[in-house]
Structure 1
Amino acid sequence: MYHLTALVTLLAILFFFFTCMNVSRSRTKTGIKVPAMSGHPDFERAFRIQMNTLEWMPIFLPSLWLFAIYISDAIAAGIGAVWIIGRIVYFVGYSQAAAKRGPGFAIQGTAAIALWAGALGAVVLRLVS
């Protein structure tokens, strides 16, 4: 069973939902009306946080699950938790200033690449053996 990976998946989805709600809150706070996508730096940063998270979800989630299936549920969940922590650090930094998004991006990017590379290695190893 993959209970830990399932939990991390649900937490990642919860974090994405939080970023969606943050964009809505930011629209209200800054007066940016739908469908406008720009006009106030605070809103634009909130929107980019949400979109960047969405952009990484199709990289992160399949890699997370393939890693869990081919290597380990617990290790996948641990690396997945690091990805979520990286997204939170990214959120906090980018909310303050665009220049502060780097550390969180590096954390989540490293975690995602570790999951992807681990899954790829495990799949290739199974194919050749």
Structure 2
Amino acid sequence: MYHFTALVTLAAVLFYFFTSTRVARARVAYGVKLPAISGNPDFERVFRVQMNTVEWLPIFLPSLWLFAIYINDQVAAAIGLVWISGRIYYMIGYSQATARRGPGFLIQAAACAALLFGALGAIVWRLVHG
């Protein structure tokens, strides 16, 4: 069973839900009416955090699960928590200023790369070595 990976998956989904609610609140706070997605730089940064998160989830989630299946549940979950931490750091930095998004982005990208290439390596290893 992959209990730790399942918990991290739910945490990632909850983080995405949180970013979605921030966008809804920012629409009201900054007067950005649907269907607009621009017009106020403060709103646009909140919106981009949510959209960047949704752009990364299809890379992160399969990589997380394949790593858990082919390598280890607990290690996958630990790296997944680093990814979520990076996303939070990205959100905090980006909310303050566009230029402050970089460190959080690099943390989450590195965690995702570890999951992706770790899983890929393990799958190829098993194919080659049986």
Q: TM-score, normalised by structure 2?
A: 0.99
For the aligned residue pairs, the C-alpha RMSD in angstroms reads: 0.3
Q: How much has 1:23 moved relative to structure 2?
A: 0.4
Per-residue CA deviation, residues 61-108 of structure 1 (Å, 9 max, x unaligned), is 000000000000000000000000000000000000000000000000
Within-5 A mapping of 1:90-109: 90-109=90-109
Cross-structure match for 1:15: 15
Cross-structure match for 1:117: 117
Cα distance in 2 for residues equivalent to 1:47 and 1:91: 10
Within-5 A mapping of 1:18-57: 18-57=18-57
Amino acid at match of 1:57: L
Cα distance in 2 for residues equivalent to 1:97 and 1:53: 17
Per-residue CA deviation, residues 7-61 of structure 1 (Å, 9 max, x unaligned), is 0000000000000000000000000000011000111001100000000000000
**Structure 2: any 5+ residue segments left out of the alignment?**
none
Q: Once superposed, which parts of structure 1, at least 4 consecutive aligned residues long, lie more than 6 Å away?
A: none
Q: How much has 1:125 moved relative to structure 2?
A: 0.3
**Structure 1: any 5+ residue segments left out of the alignment?**
none
Q: Tell me the percent identity.
A: 68
SS in 2 for 1:123: helix
Cα distance in 2 for residues equivalent to 1:37 and 1:58: 22
Matched residues, number = 129
Cα distance in 2 for residues equivalent to 1:123 and 1:103: 30
Q: TM-score, normalised by structure 1?
A: 0.99
Cα distance in 1 for residues equivalent to 2:50 and 2:28: 16
